Amino acid sequence: MPVAGQSQIWFNGRLVPAAEAVVPVTSHALHYGSSVFEGIRAYATEQGPAVFCLPEHVRRLLDSCRMMRIELPYSPVGIADAIAETVRANGHDSCYIRPVVFRGPGTFSLDPRKAAVEVAIITFPWGRYLGQDAIEQGVDVMVSSWRRAAPGTALPMGKIGGQYVTSQFIAMEAADHGFVEGIALDAQGFISEGSGENVFVVRNGVVHTPPLSGAILPGVTRGVVLTLLGDLGVPVREEQMLRDFLYVADEVFLTGTAAEVTPVRSVDRVQVGAGRRGPVTAQVQEQFFGITAGRLPDRHGWLSHIRTGAAAPVRGGAHAKGERSG
């Protein structure tokens, strides 16, 4: 477990030693997956750690709560401040940040709403999710035998704990077959996403990525990469793709907070393009890693520097408690 016992976890409003941030085995989320969570990174910059896309992640956490009918007892600004406080308290230069909102004890009923709402923020150092060489050399992936949820069977826009059993099946199957990751198709057979990453395919200078209707999580990194591609003047199409596309692509890359921007060098043992990172992927990586390291100007305001005081203001505040319009 990467969380050291002496590190601090923000738990229901205050920082406590990790060893004390424990939950009863009667917690509803443990049985039924009634939790929502986020995965966020803070990057080391010359001005200290900077949280990447903090408002976007807080917004998605609130969206997930709304889907799960969870009344979050903190405002978006309160959550953003608590994240900054936890990173500061643990003295990280860079880290992974895991906010989780879950149903605690209170009921064993499948209607979870009598169970208490609990909130924790966990931080820990984390390197390259898909391996040290992955960013340069690329990874070998398979098309998973598992499908993403059919329309009307889940809420892919939400980062909801229980929905991640599918991702676990995808990840275990890929590992068992000697692949780094699996790419799942949606219920109709179109390319959807990895167990924890969005997928981009480059062919003839055009970048293609599945639309939100393809049962994908609206990845924050996906949004960042779409913006960067726009800046670079690379044409992008959000459209459904058959799996054939993966075999005839010039480049394929995965995006996610954990995976960052990772090239794919083969799919189902079929080499992608030249079998190494392609030029579009390299350009996107240069921008992404340049901005997150503070080497390139943060022209879109994606970094919240946390040593200098409060976290960046949270956009999308209409979702704050008591501010809902309808």
Chain residues in the site for ligand PLP (CB under 6 A): 39, 167, 193, 196-198, 217, 219-222, 255-257
- Residue 132 CB coordination number (10 Å): 9
Q: Find the shortest distance in angstroms from Cβ 109 to ligand PLP.
A: 28
Q: Find the shortest distance in angstroms from Cβ 221 to ligand PLP.
A: 3
**Catalytic-residue membership of 114:** no
Contacts by residues 25-31 (CB-CB < 8 Å, ≥ 24 positions apart): 26/105, 26/108, 27/102, 27/103, 27/104, 27/105, 27/115, 27/118, 28/102, 28/103, 28/104, 28/105, 28/106, 28/107, 28/108, 28/112, 28/115, 29/102, 29/103, 29/104, 29/161, 31/108
Q: Find the shortest distance in angstroms from Cβ 311 to ligand PLP.
A: 18
By C-beta, is 42 or 115 nearer to ligand PLP? 42
User: How many Å apart are CA 229 and CA 207, to the nearest integer?
Assistant: 8
Q: Do 197 and 210 form a contact (C-beta atoms < 8 A)?
A: no
By C-beta, is 115 or 184 nearer to ligand PLP? 184
By C-beta, is 87 or 226 nearer to ligand PLP? 226
Question: In the numeric block, which tokens belong to residue 58?
Answer: 């807080």
Residues 6+ apart with CB under 8 A from 168: 195
Which of 57, 159, 222, 277 does the annotation list as catalytic?
A: 159
Report the SS3 class of residue 199: strand
By C-beta, is 193 or 251 nearer to ligand PLP? 193
By C-beta, is 222 or 319 nearer to ligand PLP? 222
Q: Do 181 and 265 form a contact (C-beta atoms < 8 A)?
A: no
Q: Find the shortest distance in angstroms from Cβ 216 to ligand PLP.
A: 6
Q: Find the shortest distance in angstroms from Cβ 160 to ligand PLP.
A: 10
- For the chain, strand residue ranges (E) read 8-11, 14-17, 35-37, 40-45, 48-52, 95-103, 117-124, 139-147, 181-185, 191-194, 198-203, 206-209, 236-238, 251-256, 260-267, 270-271, 303-305
By C-beta, is 197 or 251 nearer to ligand PLP? 197
Q: Find the shortest distance in angstroms from Cβ 2 to ligand PLP.
A: 17
- Mind telling me the catalytic residues? 159
